[in-house]
Amino acid sequence: MPRVTPVTQLRVPLGGQHIELQQVDHDAGGMSLLRTRIREGSRFTVFDVDPLTARAWGEALLAWARSQPGPAP
Q: Provide the number of structural domains found in the chain.
A: 1
Residue 28 lies in a domain: yes
> Is residue 73 situated within a structural domain?
no
For 31, the domain range is 3-67
C-beta neighbour count of 61 within 10 angstroms: 11
- Mean of pLDDT values over 35-63: 97
Tens digit of each residue's pLDDT (9 = 90 or more) over 32-48: 999 999 999 999 999 99
Q: Is the pLDDT of residue 67 over 90?
A: yes
* pLDDT value for 70: 82
**Is 32 inside any structural domain?**
yes
47 lies in some domain:
yes
User: Residue 73 above 70 pLDDT?
Assistant: no
58, part of any domain: yes
Residue 72 inside a domain? The answer is: no
CA–CA distance from 7 to each of 1, 18, 32, 33, 69 (Å)?
A: 19, 14, 13, 12, 28
Q: Quick one: pLDDT band at residue 1, thresholds 50, 70, 90?
A: confident
What does the pLDDT read at residue 72?
63
